[in-house]
Amino acid sequence: MPTDTTNSATFQQVIKWEQENYNSRDDVTILAGEDIVMGEVLGQVTVGSVPTTGTAAGGNTGGGTMTSVTGSTGVKVGTYTMTCVGLDTNGGVFSVKDPDSQALPAAGVGAAYTSDQINFTLNDVGADFIVGDSFTVVVPAGSESMVALEVAAIDGSAIAAGISKDDYDASASGDRTIAFTFGGTYQITAGDTITGATNGATARVYYVDLTSGTFAAGTAAGTLYLNGQSGTFISENLDVGGNSNVATIGGNSSAIAASDVPGVMIARNAQYVDDYLTWPSGITDAQKTLAKKQLKSLGIIERDLV
């Protein structure tokens, strides 16, 4: 979900107080594909992919099935158990228990079942169900990685888990690599703009991985890490400013796949100024109030802007 930044601020403006010795902070993993900014409210991916079908117990008499399984925002990790407790020709009533053995509303065969944790449909197929027939749905744990708070998510990230300490770009958006071999003696460095001598494509270098040779000897070879590419490189020489043939390439650059990156999160016992937090775009007042209560449960409380 896109984010809404109401103000640009320093970390000290966002977090007005935290515990000594950085005890308010946790090292975390930012999920691949995320582009997090300092002061952004984070959620944690605690729940994995919910199976789309339930598993019938081996001793079931009924031939029915359990399909259209999805999670809701309150879905839990563990095993959901649905057990037939009431008989009906071509139907039946099933109890529903969550992974903590807490009872949810009962489910009827043939009707779509919805709850704040799990949704499904029990189907009458072949022999009728009998009391004791059952199904299970095992919901796996998630990656525990951090993402921008997503109030409609079913993977756990709808619950506010902390506040980002810094900017973390795990999206790799626009980042590319290109292999090069030797050319001239000019040393390509981070910040240089390379230009294809034939096709005229350009890109900014942000890292040079030298794997063999030296620039001074004109034998350098390795990989250039690029962003901001415009146009398409071909098999050609590269120029940097007035320096011609600084390297040779065999074709266009390749996109870098997004990957997880390490980060730091304010996870407990701190004070923040709401005016400087970054919230999901379109979040409602009620959703923000709930998220603040979730932060407060961690000892992360709001402080007036002074």
| pLDDT given for residue 100 in this prediction | 98
In DSSP terms, 92 is beta-bridged to: 87
Non-local (6+) Cβ contacts of 242 within 8 A are none
Question: Is residue 115 scored above 50 in pLDDT?
Answer: yes
- How far is the C-alpha of 118 from the C-alpha of 103, rounded, in Å? 12
Supply the mean pLDDT for the chain: 94
Q: Specify whether the CB–CB gap between 164 and 145 falls below 8 A.
A: no
Cα 102 vs. chain centroid, distance in angstroms? 29
Banded model confidence at residue 27, pLDDT cuts 50, 70, 90:
very high
In DSSP terms, 88 is beta-bridged to: 91
Which residues make up the CATH 2.40.30 domain(s) of the chain?
176-255
- How far is the C-alpha of 87 from the C-alpha of 129, rounded, in Å? 7
- How far is the C-alpha of 75 from the C-alpha of 272, rounded, in Å? 29
Q: Specify whether the CB–CB gap between 72 and 154 falls below 8 A.
A: yes
Mean pLDDT of 261-281: 96
| pLDDT given for residue 280 in this prediction | 97
H/E element, 291: helix 285-296
Question: Is residue 186 scored above 90 in pLDDT?
Answer: yes
Backbone angles phi, psi at 188, to 5 degrees: -70, 135
Which residues make up the CATH 2.40.300.10 domain(s) of the chain?
3-46+143-170+260-302
- Residue entry with tokens 């890490």: 225
Mean pLDDT of 171-182: 91
Q: Specify whether the CB–CB gap between 271 and 295 falls below 8 A.
A: no
Sign of CA dihedral 164, 13, 283, 289: positive
Classified as helix, coil or strand, 155 is coil
**E strands, 62-115, in order:** 65-71, 78-88, 91-97, 103-108, 112-113
134: nearest Cα among 81, 97, 76: 81
Question: Is residue 3 scored above 70 in pLDDT?
Answer: no
Cα 67 vs. chain centroid, distance in angstroms? 27
CATH architecture of 176-255: Beta Barrel (2.40)
Side chain identity at 242, as an amino acid letter? G
Question: Is residue 165 scored above 90 in pLDDT?
Answer: yes
- How far is the C-alpha of 95 from the C-alpha of 83, rounded, in Å? 5
List, for residues 29-76, the tens digit of each pLDDT value: 999 999 999 999 999 999 999 999 999 999 999 999 999 999 999 999
| pLDDT given for residue 306 in this prediction | 62
CATH architecture of 3-46+143-170+260-302: Beta Barrel (2.40)
